[in-house]
Amino acid sequence: MTTSPCGQPIQPIPEVDLALITGSANWGLRFPEDTGLPGVRVLSRDVSHETAYGVSENWKLLEFDGSMTPDGLPRRALCMYSHGNPRDWIDHSCHRRAFAVLQAAGVRRVLASSTIGSLNRAIRVGDFVINADIIELTQTPYSLLPGRQRFDCSGKQIVCPACAEILAETARRHWPASARVHGVDSGLVAAHAYGPRLTTPAEVIAYRNLGADIINHSIAPEATLAREIGACFVPCAFVTAGFNDYFRPAGMSILQEGVLEGLSPIASRVALEAAARLPLGTECLCQSLKSGQPDDRYSRF
Ligand SMILES: [Zn+2]
């Protein structure tokens, strides 16, 4: 049996239409095992898959039973801990390998979980946010598109409204009444900056002046690569750092105590329940927002 650098079996990529990308919103939890949510089964874990860009590690294959899905039939999903992968060093190109796996699997819907910082005083610590748009100043350096002239990818509707509606409805059933759920119709904007260093006070001011309401350390590659593989994308995120927290004295933590621990089990449940209910099939405008260019743009040069 072939194994990955960390000793996991390298297995064929399964055919599935759904993916969950996990991250800081699920830190400290075995996802989904620790949610104890009935109807979710882990079919396999600690599996690696081969891609044209190298081996992608730490995959799980989940199954939702018919009580959770739109058509009452079992539904499988690929699941990977994206911004903690690989485990022992920082490698932002892991996103490209992860989405190469999702592309080969035939994934059409991607839900990605993360925590975020607020760049807007009206968005408070503990709030759940489904942003509508993103700002990424350098564009994703880890594109999956086969050649510069083969495809165009639109930047419009980068977050899927149909998936966002289902996620917001799910979140409103579970989120604590002490915080708010901001749906995609609020039109909030997420700036992206690669982590793990947290945002500096100057960057907070800069991104806020560019029109961003929140800052996220993983959303640009996730949203852009979802577009590149022709999948709908929806972010599932909550605020752990408030706007004013970035300007507190250096010795005081930006991240407020207890917020992550209190909300990550709820956010994890919301992510699972919503993912299982995301639309089936290929009927969404998002999936037509990647379009082929004329052949001669590639062949004549
Ligand atoms: Zn869509």
What does the DSSP assignment read for 151-174? EEE--TT-S-HHHHHHHHHHHHHH
Q: Return the pLDDT at 81.
A: 87
Domain ranges of the chain: 18-299
CA dist 14 → 43, 47, 76, 110, 232 (Å): 11, 11, 9, 16, 19
Q: Please tell me the distance between residue 289's alpha carbon and the centre of ligand 1 in angstroms.
A: 10
Q: Please tell me the distance between residue 161's alpha carbon and the centre of ligand 1 in angstroms.
A: 6
Q: Please tell me the distance between residue 294's alpha carbon and the centre of ligand 1 in angstroms.
A: 25
The position carrying tokens 């005081």 is 252
Phi, psi of 207 (to 5 degrees): -65, -35
End-to-end CA distance of the chain: 45
Sequential pLDDT tens for the chain (301 residues) = 799 888 899 999 999 999 999 988 887 888 999 999 999 999 999 999 999 999 999 999 999 999 999 999 999 999 998 776 777 888 889 999 999 999 999 999 999 999 999 999 999 999 999 999 999 988 778 999 987 788 999 999 999 999 999 999 999 999 999 999 999 999 999 999 998 899 999 999 999 999 999 999 999 999 999 999 999 999 999 999 999 999 999 988 877 778 888 899 999 999 999 999 999 988 899 999 998 888 888 888 8
Q: Please tell me the distance between residue 131's alpha carbon and the centre of ligand 1 in angstroms.
A: 14
Is residue 109 within 8 A of residue 231, CB to CB? The reply is yes
Is residue 10 within 8 A of residue 50, CB to CB? The reply is yes
Q: Return the pLDDT at 300.
A: 84
Q: For the domain bounded by 18-299, which CATH number is listed?
A: 3.40.50.1580
Cβ-based neighbour number of residue 157 at 10 Å: 17
Q: Return the pLDDT at 147.
A: 78
Q: Please tell me the distance between residue 1's alpha carbon and the centre of ligand 1 in angstroms.
A: 38
Q: Please tell me the distance between residue 9's alpha carbon and the centre of ligand 1 in angstroms.
A: 33
Q: Show Cβ contacts of residue 42 under 8 Å, excluding neighbours closer than 6 positions.
A: 32, 33, 60, 61, 62
Which one-letter DSSP state was computed for residue 128?
A: E
Q: Please tell me the distance between residue 41's alpha carbon and the centre of ligand 1 in angstroms.
A: 26
Q: Please tell me the distance between residue 137's alpha carbon and the centre of ligand 1 in angstroms.
A: 24
Q: Please tell me the distance between residue 49's alpha carbon and the centre of ligand 1 in angstroms.
A: 26
Nearest to 111 by CA among 60, 164, 152, 147: 164
CA dist 169 → 42, 162, 172, 270, 273 (Å): 25, 11, 5, 10, 10
Is residue 241 within 8 A of residue 234, CB to CB? The reply is no
Q: Return the pLDDT at 117.
A: 96
The position carrying tokens 């599935």 is 16
- pTM of the predicted protein model: 0.95
Is residue 175 within 8 A of residue 165, CB to CB? The reply is no
Q: Please tell me the distance between residue 160's alpha carbon and the centre of ligand 1 in angstroms.
A: 4
Q: Please tell me the distance between residue 140's alpha carbon and the centre of ligand 1 in angstroms.
A: 20
Q: Return the pLDDT at 282.
A: 81
Cβ-based neighbour number of residue 37 at 10 Å: 15
Is residue 272 within 8 A of residue 60, CB to CB? The reply is no
Q: Please tell me the distance between residue 153's alpha carbon and the centre of ligand 1 in angstroms.
A: 14
